Each structure stands twice: as C-alpha cells, then as structure tokens.
Structure 1
Amino acid sequence: MGIKVKKDFVSKSKYSIKCPNTMSAKYITFHNTANDASAQSEINYMKNNNNEVSYHYAVDDKQVIQGIPENRNAWHCGDGSGVNSGNRTSIGVEVCYSKSGGARYKAAEKLAIKFIAQLLHKKGWGINRVKKHQEWSGKYCPHRVLDEGRWNEVKQAIANELASLKGGKAEAVKKETKSSTSGSKGNANVREAQAFLNSRNYPRKAKFTKLIVDGYTGPKSLNAALRILQYYGGTDIDGIWGPKTQKATKVLSVHSYSKWWTHLAQSALVLRGVYVSIDGVYGSGTKAGVIKFQKSKKLIPDGIIGPQTWKALVG
C-alpha cells in the first residue's frame, strides 16, 4: 500500500506569487527545513504568506502534505526563474524537524525516503532524478544531512526503496566527494561572494582561514562574513552574534559606509540566496534584494541594513 498524501493546496488567487508557471517536472529536490515545525505548519506558513517561497510537499514523522500541484513550479531552489532552473524543473520535498534532529527528524527522513521512492516509481524515473538543494543554487541544504555527511547514504536509501517497489536490484549511487562538489559546479554568484571574502588583507586579522571558492554556501562562509563585520565594527572578533556586535552595528548603515561595506552586504545577501551584483554600489538592485530578504525574515522591509537585518544575514 502506497503512502497516502494529504492535499492542502495554496489558493489559486496566489498562483501568481507561489507557482506562476506550468511545469513538466524532471527532478525531485530534497530539502531540510530550517525549523522544527510539522508538515501542516510548513504548508500553512506557505499558504498564508505572500512571499515568493513555495514547495510542493512537506513531510514530517506522521504524514506527507502537498501544497502545490506537481504541474506548477515552486520557488524552493533559490536559482531564479530560468526554464532550466531547479525552481522550474523540480518537485520540492521539505523534510521537517530538521533544526534539532532527534527521533522526530529521523522518522520524518525515513518517511520522506519512502515517499520520494514512491514518486520516482510512479514517474518511471531512476535515482539520478533526485538532487539536493545545494546542487541548484549552492545553498547549504539539506543542512542536517550535509552536516552529518550522509547525503550518499540518504540517496542510496532512496535507491533501495525504489528497487523494492520495482522488485529488482538496487542501483548503486555514485558517491559524491569534495572534488565532485567544488569549483565550477557550484553557483557562480556564491563563488563571487566567497572570492570577495578572501580578497582583502582583513580575513587574516578577522581570524578565519581563507575559504574554498567552491560556490557552495556553508556555515564557514557566513561565519567569515560575520567576523569581517565584527572587525570593521571594532568589536570582539569571536564569530558570535552577541550584545557587543549588535551595539556596534546600531550606528552603521550600508548607506553611510564605504564600498567594502556594501560589498560585504551584497556578499552576505548572495550567501543567503538573494542574488545581487557584488559591485560595491548600493543601487536599486541591491536595495530590492535587501527588501526581498527582509520580507522573507519578517523584518521591516525598509531596504536599510541595520542590526536586525545584519543579524539575519550573518548572525
């Protein structure tokens, strides 16, 4: 008996925001959520806000809920609206309870593995159709799986489930190594941001080793941005967003600082999946990117990078 899916679709009145394009899917994208909410809470959040953030399925330890039809695109990969982007060619599956992990997350991941295998079987696809979010935009997602070094294991588990549904032998998953997820295969915008963080003399003074310019966003890149912010804010360089760092940024605004400050802000935006030009000029494109990011974090969308926006970017 297959896994039953609860359908709880976003209103058609929000299609222009959440899923404006028809889609003939080619892939399935595996995500970890950034919180410990249930599948129903994830779907309710998506349905009730007006942000361009959306996904097809949410899976927790008990159920699978569908929020967007598979023949519509969703904004879950962070790689734009091009016809060959992950947003336009893949079905997004969010695995819940990812922030803290534990028994509920393990159960949710197990159910997601079975469900993805079921989708593959239904569509006549192989395991090569499964991708992690990171492969599209460089974002460090599925973060829990990546932190635990288990992406190969998860993908093989999906292949094993698929084989059991087909009654055949499981396909061996090609192992991914650091060399297969570096260099030109990462996102070009992220590589540019990482190169900027490495480009001056201050990284050594800010107490972090130079980054691998691989185009994949991870905690090291974001922590590097925070340490640079602390260095130029004249506070302790400890890589921790604390009271002193917040106090140092209260008097700072991207509009009143030099070109490097704007470069840093633009790099941080890119590392968070908002792709703006890293040119050191706070123009309309950068302001629009800041506003988009602020809306996604439920901050006042004023286009000014104050303490709360900096905290959301690099804290």
Structure 2
Amino acid sequence: MSDSNTTDFTNPSTFILLGIPGLESAHVWIAIPFCAMYAITILGNITILFIVKTEPSLHEPMYYFLCMLAVTDLVLSTSTLPTILSNFWFNSREIDFNACLTQLYFVHSFSVIESGILVAMAFDRYVAICHPLRHSTILNNPVVAKMGLAVVLQGAILALPFPVLARQWPYCRTNIIPYTHCEHMPVVKLACVDIRVSSYYGLFALFCSCGLYVIFIVISYTQILRAIFRLPTKDARLKTFGTCTSHLCVILTFYTPNLFSSLMTRFGLKIPLHLHILFANMYLLVPPMLNPIIYGVRIKQIRARLFQFVTLKGT
C-alpha cells in the first residue's frame, strides 16, 4: 500500500498544516502569546475605530487612513490566527483546498492593501507639512475615498493570480505544508511541475507592493525633511517631525519582517525551519498589534479621547 503522503493527486481535497516542525511539543505554549497578541490586535484596532467614529474633531484624512489601516489589520490577522490557534490547541491540521487558496489570497491581498495605505498616509504627511494651507483642498473627503478604493482594488487585483496559478498546478508529491497557515510559496512548492511562473510573479508582486511603495515613501519623506529643515527654530522642527514619528514606526514594523520573510521563503536562506516560520508569522502578528498602540501613544488627540473614555467608565 502506498503512503498517503505520496499518493498521486492533481487537486488534493485538503492540505495538512504542520504548524512549526520541530516544535510540535511546544505548540500549546507558543499559542498563548499568539492568542494574547491577537486579543490585543482586536481590542486595539476596534478602540481606534470607535474613537475616530465618535470624536468629530478626528474626522480628517489622517484618521480616515488610520481607520483603513485598523480594518486591514483586523482582516489580515483574523484570516490566519484562528487557523493557527486551532492547529496549536486542538490539533486541527486539515484545511480544505479551496479554503487554503482563499486564505493565501486574503493574506497577500491585505498585505498589499496595508502597504498601499502606508503610502497614502505618507502622502498625507507630505501635504500636511509641505503644503499646509492646501491640505484640506488637496485631501478632501472624495479624494480620500478614491485613494482608499484605489488601494483596495490594487491589492485585490495584484493578489488574484496567486490562487489562480496555485489552482492550476498538479500536486503529486504531498499535501503536507510545513507551515502554520497557507501562503503562496509554501503551497506551490508542493507542486510537481516547474513553478517558475508563480515564483516570478511573486517577486513582481513583491516589487510592486514593497519596492515601489518604499520608493514613494522615501520620496515623500525626502520632501518632508527638506521642508522641516527649512523651519526657523529647532522646536518647530522637532514638533513637526514628531507628527511623522508614529507613521515611521509603523512603516518599520510592517516592511522589515514582511520583506525578510518573503526573501527567506523564495531564496531559502540557511536558517532553521522553525525560526524561519516563527519569524514569518511576525508580520501577521506584530504590526496589527503594534499599530494601534503606536498611534494611541503618539497621537495626542487619540490619547486624550481614550483617557476621557476610560475616566468616564471608571466614574
């Protein structure tokens, strides 16, 4: 009788997610910080959405983009964390083939959307600092809505070939994925044909969603820094630059693990598999958790509104 792991099949009905190979005995304990981070993500981002919705003074482009970021973080983390926690706590490793492709689509599309939102926020900071008198006319509500729609459409379209290509490959080696969830490269690497088309498209999408967007962000902040250094006093320069620090922190927490994880997956850097997978999960766990904390701490209006809300609840 042939081993079920090597039985020939063109489209498997299910995939098996191993989680973190080599650390199976620690899955229950690893799931505890994962769950805590997910809970903080849900609470923090819903709090941001509630504060912006209920505070009229925050109905401005910067906070609209922040709400888009919060929604994207909620979807990105929710598309993967329940699967991971179910695997780690209840040993539920099977995932339907179509559900797997849907999950990898959500992961990649909302990663692109988040990247696009960070570019839109950089543009907002550029207009606010370099053209402050025209900010309300350049970034009015219709323009913000169109920018948000463009970012969503780009993410949806750019990620669409991932499941389309993954569906057409024959899988005749194994249906076991040594990963915590379904992502593009770990899935298509199971195919028994040449997958260079998928790999090359993945690099193209990575260049579009990270490379080009990082270039746009660098250009925006180059102009911002030039405007800041032209300010007459040191206090004015520090105060103006302080309005950008939260956005810069969010950019670093998102792009650093995202780029490193994508390059590790494609080029197989000599890193132990369990460390590779743990690090790859960081861009799904850490940015959605830290973003509301960073903005809650750094933005005075949100901090004040949150303090007021907590004080009223305590009385």
Same fold (TM over 0.5): no
Per residue, is there more helix in 1 or in 2? Answer: 2
Higher relative contact order (CA 8 A, sep 6+): 2
Per residue, is there more strand in 1 or in 2? Answer: 1
TM-score by length of 2: 0.29
TM-score by length of 1: 0.29
